[in-house]
Amino acid sequence: MSAYLSIEGIARRFRTPKGTNTVFEDLWFAMDKGEFACVIGHSGCGKTTVLNILSGLEEPDGGVVIMDGQAIDGPSLDRAVIFQSHALLPWKSVLGNVAYAVASRHKDWSREKVRAHAERFIEVVGLKGAEHKRPAELSGGMKQRVGIARALSIEPKMLLMDEPFSALDALTRGTLQDEVRRICVETGQTVFMITHDVDEAIYLADRIVLMTNGPQASIAEIVENPLPRDRRRLDLHKQPDFYALRNHLIDFLVERSRVLRDSPPAGYDRRRPPVVRPTLATEPVGALSPRRTAGG
């Protein structure tokens, strides 16, 4: 069975007075429908550029991205983006912002049907009762909830998130992570998310894509999350494989992201990045550099 999303050999290059700057090249990655993938890597490796290519806001300089059997060629309401900033229309209410997106998606719907659909997703993100407030009357967390409701209300085939919680305080960030995970598990939403937060990736993702440092970044490996899919935030640190996974990710960011860019391991194939699954069965708790447990 073919993948729902297939990134096939994409590259991004920029011309400079000193020559061509290659941000990344020959990236290959595939996702199944309903999967939640997080991308981790240092600034400059091209994470946001990859997301922009998936959204259709940028074109790759090589390769192609195929989603649900169709090559991505420009923006589409099949792909909704949640940015770091909420990007709300300040003159519209909560309901107005969400309804605007719904009406754009369903131009043949009546005003009453658009309103009812928008109200359903406003309730889903916990903003029932705040429908008529404008962005200036909302906290940062509430604004981001509106952005999430707006994205989900168009029922996209793929949800793209570019560090959507990074500007929020820890408590609000955790609450919204809980909401997003609950919604995505319940609806089977396919998600591609950028984050710098290792614990966020562990909590949310089914798989974690690790990119080497830029320029000329590549996908170093794909980490399968060994934790149960029905995991809860408060129980994460109690899971037997939590520390093996966390240490593996931190070790990558601290050291291996640079080393693997300059010296790929023998047999490394960009088309088939190694797939690893760090677990307690192969690594002692607290070890900083877990061994690889599987190959792909």
pLDDT tens figures, 174-203: 888 998 898 898 889 999 999 999 999 999
- pLDDT band for 287, please (50, 70, 90 cuts): very low
Query: Is the model's pLDDT at 293 over the cut of 60?
Result: no
Q: Strand 36-40 and strand 19-31: pairing?
A: unpaired
DSSP secondary structure letters along 29-64: EEE-TT-EEEEE--TTS-HHHHHHHHHTSS--SEEE
The average pLDDT across 156-174 equals: 89
**Token representation of residue 203:** 């909590």
Least confident of 68-77, 81-90, 252-261, 278-287: 278-287
Q: What is the DSSP letter of 217?
A: B
* Cβ 12 vs Cβ 63: under 8 Å: no
Q: How far apart are CA 42 and CA 173, in angstroms?
A: 21
Q: Is the whole model's pTM more than 0.75, yes or no?
A: yes
- pLDDT band for 124, please (50, 70, 90 cuts): confident
